[in-house]
Amino acid sequence: MKGVWLEDLTWPEAKVRFDRDDVVVIPVAAASRAHGRYLPLGTDALIARALGQRLIERLPIVVAPVVGFGVQPAHESHAGSQHLRRETFRQVLRELVGGFRAQGVKRIALLDVGASIEEPPGDWGDALVLRVGSMGAPAEALIERLDDESASECETSIILALAPRSVRPVPSAGPGDPGQATAFKGERLMSAWVDDVAITLKAKWPSLGE
């Protein structure tokens, strides 16, 4: 059986999934954060949604709606960038995780896209925290400019693969220059990330998918 988006279920259908101990994945990705001059503010959320879709096509998991805020004060001076205070963010995740546990969910994973989660995993009990970005050697070899800047070549390549019309053709030699990024790299990166997440989920819960 394949996975499903939680928002597509009725509540009785969700209860069936929870009662049979399905893994619930909660994507966390800023829906409005600056990514250089090339990429839309919703880049992280777009990537999170695409990752969630690919994961439910591979694993019998339940993917919750994307949590669209994180703790990223470094970007607050950029128009449109929104983030929560650290304690507010931690409380939001505590309540989300606690709410699922109260409904009987035992296996929970937080899927962090774009470094939105700064706190240690222990802050949410035994919930698994998956930090997207550990690409592995095959994918890493595709990237000429590995860096931690917003609108990096990595992110630009992925958006070229997912939503090419959203990449602005602004000339620059800086990080994320679309001249270095390609949709081919983006597809390979997404595949590598999905592989990494799936492997980690199965390592945590070996019965997943059986």
Residue 106 counted as domain residue: yes
What's 93's domain CATH number?
Answer: 3.40.50.10310
Residue 151 counted as domain residue: no
User: What is the number of domains present in the chain?
Assistant: 1
Phi, psi of 92 (to 5 degrees): -60, -50
Residue 185 counted as domain residue: no
Residue 157 counted as domain residue: no
What is the mean pLDDT of the segment spanning 95-102?
Answer: 94
**Structural domain boundaries enclosing 59:** 4-134+191-204
- Asked if residue 23 lies in contact with residue 30, where contact means CB atoms within 8 angstroms, the answer is no
Global pTM?
A: 0.86
pLDDT tens profile 16-71: 999 999 999 999 998 888 777 788 888 999 999 999 999 999 999 999 999 988 77
Residue 146 counted as domain residue: no
